[in-house]
């Protein structure tokens, strides 16, 4: 199994996703600032994986605190959360994880500081373990949508590398594959960061799942040819009305799918729901450096000095989404009610 992120001897170890697939390199973080840098620079990326990294970063940061009373310890905790919280704005799992760690401080604030540090570490490790179990459940709920012989189109990487393991969208694919269904995947390369080409193709090949890489502008061609049976993607944040923020280009795929009567599924854990937002218009969209557009793997592909834009995510309106697959079951339109029912008490 691909080991995206783990805690070992009080070190956070993660696979460096910026150099895959050419090199399989692991980086080790001993300090929370290194974890924050790893999230910011996309050494680790994908909403659930960012959440796990944030929790582990907070555990590392608070372990190093010299505070000997709860007031000073809480101040150190707040500073660590501030740094981690400023790394990437769109994936709500980051803020969910900060909330989970804050709840530990609140619950155990009367414990001696050393025991409180242990509780924070335990919660971070638990978030990692739970994420893998959650993804397996997403797979179980989602595999019904894949029929024997289907071809699934996916965008970006919502796989083991984007989570603690197994994946959300690719978890659905894996569960169907494990159930013995014959299937194939069309992976959008996902310009500009190439998560589809570098990561999705790599991890599906690693598992022996039939994958064909296409450039983003080929999706319509394959749909028109009748080659795509369904689309499954992940999500970075889902608003209360079912609008879905995911990697830039997801919206275009959803519009194409609707035109061709192809079902469009979103697979995500409940921690990706942000029911505090009534629509996707309120989701903050990360703007990344234009260098990622003008350069590919460090090589310039555009005239020097050209302006380039780089919104890293877009919002797919709920009307394009056939269903949202979570670990607790499948939400269908109207999402305002179905998502609320799935979230229960755990509302972001």
Active site residue 10: no
In the bound complex, what is the minimum distance in angstroms from residue 135's beta carbon to ligand MRU?
8
Say if CB 244 and CB 316 are below 8 A apart. Answer: yes
Q: Is 46 in the site for ligand MRU (CB under 6 A)?
A: yes
In the bound complex, what is the minimum distance in angstroms from residue 106's beta carbon to ligand MRU?
28
* Alpha-carbon torsion (149, 263, 254, 231), positive or negative: negative
Residues of this chain, 223-242, that bind ligand MRU according to CB under 6 A: 234-236
Residues of this chain, 80-109, that bind ligand MRU according to CB under 6 A: 91
List of E strands, the chain: 5-8, 11-15, 26-29, 151-154, 184-188, 210-214, 230-233, 237-239, 244-247, 264-267, 273-274, 295-296, 299-300, 313-316, 323-326, 329-331
Using alpha carbons, select from 129, 137, 128, 212 the residue that is nearest to residue 172: 137
C-alpha 149/C-alpha 248 separation (Å) is: 28
Q: Is 253 in the site for ligand MRU (CB under 6 A)?
A: no
Q: Is 203 in the site for ligand MRU (CB under 6 A)?
A: no
Which residue, 121 or 174, has its beta carbon nearer to ligand MRU?
174
In the bound complex, what is the minimum distance in angstroms from residue 112's beta carbon to ligand MRU?
37
C-alpha R_g of the chain: 20
Q: Is 326 in the site for ligand MRU (CB under 6 A)?
A: no
User: Which residue out of 131, 188, 236, 314 is catalytically annotated?
Assistant: 236
Q: Is 128 in the site for ligand MRU (CB under 6 A)?
A: no
Stretch that binds ligand MRU, among 95-103, 158-166, 273-281, 338-346 (CB under 6 A): 158-166
In the bound complex, what is the minimum distance in angstroms from residue 227's beta carbon to ligand MRU?
22
Using alpha carbons, select from 200, 206, 203, 146 the residue that is nearest to residue 177: 146
Catalytic residue ranges: 236
């Amino acid at each position: 199994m691909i080991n995206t992120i783990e805690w070992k001897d009080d070190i956070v170890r993660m696979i460096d996703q910026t150099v895959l697939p050419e090199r399989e390199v692991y980086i080790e973080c001993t300090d929370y600032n290194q974890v924050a840098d790893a999230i910011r620079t996309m050494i680790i990326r994908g909403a659930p994986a960012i959440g796990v990294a944030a929790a582990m970063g907070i555990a590392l940061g608070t372990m190093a605190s010299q505070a000997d009373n709860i007031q000073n310890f809480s101040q150190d905790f707040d500073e660590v959360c501030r740094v981690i919280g400023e790394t990437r704005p769109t994936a709500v799992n980051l803020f969910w994880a900060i909330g989970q760690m804050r709840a530990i401080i609140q619950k155990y604030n009367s414990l001696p500081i050393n025991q409180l540090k242990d509780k924070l570490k335990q919660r971070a490790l638990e978030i990692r373990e739970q994420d893998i179990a959650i993804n397996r459940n997403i797979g179980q709920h989602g595999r019904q949508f894949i029929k024997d012989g289907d071809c699934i189109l996916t965008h970006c990487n919502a796989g083991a590398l984007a989570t603690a393991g197994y994946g959300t969208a690719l978890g659905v694919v894996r569960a169907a594959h494990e159930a013995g269904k014959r299937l194939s995947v069309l992976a959008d390369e996902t310009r500009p960061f190439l998560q589809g080409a570098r990561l999705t193709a790599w991890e599906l090949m690693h598992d022996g799942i039939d994958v064909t890489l296409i450039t983003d502008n080929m999706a319509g061609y394959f749909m028109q040819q009748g080659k795509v049976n369904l689309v499954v993607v992940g999500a970075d944040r889902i608003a209360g009305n079912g609008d879905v923020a995911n990697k830039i280009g997801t919206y275009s795929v959803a519009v194409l799918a609707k035109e061709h009567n192809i079902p469009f599924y979103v697979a995500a854990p409940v921690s990706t729901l942000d029911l505090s937002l009534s629509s996707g218009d309120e989701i903050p969209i990360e703007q990344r450096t234009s260098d990622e557009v003008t350069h590919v793997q460090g090589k310039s592909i555009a005239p020097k000095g050209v302006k380039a834009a780089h919104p890293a995510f877009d919002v797919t309106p709920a009307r394009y989404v056939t269903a949202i697959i979570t670990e607790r079951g499948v939400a269908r339109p109207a999402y305002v009610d179905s998502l609320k029912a799935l979230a229960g008490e755990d509302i972001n």
